[in-house]
Amino acid sequence: MNKTLAVFGWIFFGLIMGVGLMRFISTHQELDELATETARPERTADGRIALYYTAEDRMHISDEMLGFLQGLQTISGAIAEEDRETIRDAAGALRRGNGQGQAVQLKSPEGFRVLGRSLRQDFGTMSDMAMTADMDELQLVVSDAMGKCVACHGSYKAVEVEDPAAD
Ligand code: HEC
């Protein structure tokens, strides 16, 4: 009699534990899913620091970047041809942003901003040196500038998010 009760007891206990455990696991899974949907991890899967930008921010960055790439192409051609005016003008045009990058600047970490500013300064230096410096000196400044492209792209990655104001 006691034995039968004990068996029932264990079955009862097992049932409660089983259900309880299942409920615990499913809640846990739901929480995990919720976290991955809403959280903004500090790093992307490849280990770079994630920067959360809206589609509009990304468009602005892309425009600037394509301007950098095009400018560097013009400048490296002009160095080969010793065309000083072109170096001065192309680098001078990249000395400053167009002033529309405020939102991006505010959302970006200090390291990102420093790299961006330093790159702008390199373009300024190129422009200032263009009429007088040796071409290999100019080439060295170009190389310095490109080091900043590499550094930023290696450290940071843009991740698109919805604009909270659009909701
Ligand atoms: C301070 C950080 C930073 C620096 C410095 C930087 N970039 Fe970028 N670049 C970015 C980010 C962030 C993106 C990704 C934008 C996106 O996809 O939303 C990007 C994207 C690009 C793209 C892809 C643009 C597109 O949408 O097709 C090019 C090309 C590029 N960069 C070129 C350059 C060049 C050339 C330099 C150096 C002269 C440079 N970048 C310097 C941060 C930087």
The domain ranges of the chain are 1-39, 49-162
Between the CA of 100 and the centroid of ligand 1 the distance, in Å, is 16
Match 């009699």 to its residue by tokens.
1
Confidence of residue 165 (pLDDT cuts 50, 70, 90): low
Report pTM: 0.80
- Which atom of ligand 1 lies closest to the CA of 51? 12
Percentage above 90 pLDDT, the chain: 66
Helices vs. strands in the chain: H and E counts, helices first: 6, 2
Please write the tens of the pLDDT for every residue from 7-62: 666 666 566 655 555 555 566 666 666 556 557 889 999 999 999 999 999 999 99
Contacts made by residues 148-153, CB under 8 angstroms, sequence distance 24+: 148/115, 148/118, 148/119, 148/122, 149/68, 149/119, 151/115, 152/112, 152/115, 152/116, 152/119
Between the CA of 13 and the centroid of ligand 1 the distance, in Å, is 61
In CATH terms, the fold of domain 49-162 is Four Helix Bundle (Hemerythrin (Met), subunit A) (1.20.120)
- pLDDT recorded at residue 48: 96
* Ligand 1: residue whose CA is nearest its atom 41: 149
